[in-house]
Amino acid sequence: MKILVIDDEKPTLSMFKLFLTAYGYQVFIAEDGKTGLDLFAKEQPQIVFTDLKMPRMDGIEVLRKIRSFNDPTTQVIIITGHGDMEKALEALDLDASDFINKPVEKRALESALKRAELRIRNREPKTSEMIINKTSDSSISMKISGKLTSASYAAKQLDLNGVKLLQICFSPDFSIAKEGMDWLIDFMEQARKQGIQITMNGLSYNYIRFFQMAGLHEIAVIVEAKYDE
């Protein structure tokens, strides 16, 4: 499998090439967005890592141009720094498959690769689906799959009166847009105000870190996905 890494920092490129080559990937590297896009057009890699902050052409523009090639199967993983919440959400709106923070952890890199390969293998529709079940008088289970862009009709009509436990389960193909993130944060804050215990299951390691950036770990107990182990 081919992987392209675009980053203006040579040590980062060297680290990626070392690890990814050791994992058995064919690795191409570029020090700027334009060179990266030229390599992308030539080599057609299945996975692209691109730094978010680069001179002249940033990672958002790289992602936007890759998406303009109309190949939704390419998995684009954003390399970002701490505190880039808004930019990360912008990338997710453009269907970035994942993101990892600098300095890059081995575990975060492996998590992003597993998730990207899973999405490539499945090639499932990315439309959002939300299934809500009342497991008991005081417990509700909510399963979210695909790309969450907003609340479903069922979620908007959900009555949380008397609920003590809310379990939110995320499928392996889960992703989220800014509108969906805004709704999820508001929904969870409202549930917490009503004294409801919240658990979140099935998130990848990198999505857990992203949700921690948003402060959701202060609202819910977050459990990492089994497929991410």
Q: Which residues contact 21 (CB under 8 A, 6 or more apart)?
A: 27
**Structure confidence at residue 228 (pLDDT):** 46
Residue 124 predicted with pLDDT over 60? no
Q: Read off the pLDDT of each residue in 4-29 and give the average, rounded to a whole number.
A: 96
What are the chain's domains?
2-122 (3.40.50.2300), 129-228 (3.30.750.24)
pLDDT for position 83: 61
∠ CA(76), CA(81), CA(84), 5° rounding? 85
For the stretch 179-226, pLDDT in tens is 899 999 999 999 999 999 999 999 989 899 889 888 999 999 998 776
pLDDT tens column, 59-111: 999 999 999 986 778 999 999 875 677 888 888 888 888 888 888 899 999 99
Tens-digit pLDDT profile for residues 163-187 = 999 999 999 888 888 889 999 999 9
User: In this predicted model, what pLDDT tens digit does every residue of 13-23 receive, in sequence order?
Assistant: 999 999 999 99
List % helix, strand, coil for the chain (3-state, nearest 5): 40, 25, 30
Mean pLDDT confidence for 125-149: 86
- Contact indicator for 79, 57 with CB cutoff of 8 Å: no
Residue 183's pLDDT is what? Answer: 92
- Please give the model's pTM, rounded to 2 decimal places: 0.85
C-alpha R_g of the chain:
18
d(CA 60, CA 22): 28
pLDDT of residue 229: 45
> What per-residue confidence (pLDDT) applies to 178?
87
What pLDDT was estimated at residue 147? 86
- In the predicted structure, residue 227 carries a pLDDT above the cut 70: no
> Residue 82: its pLDDT value, please?
59
pLDDT of residue 27 exceeding 90: yes
Residue 37 above 80 pLDDT?
yes
Q: What is the mean pLDDT of residues 16-44?
A: 96
Q: 114 or 84: whose pLDDT is higher?
A: 114
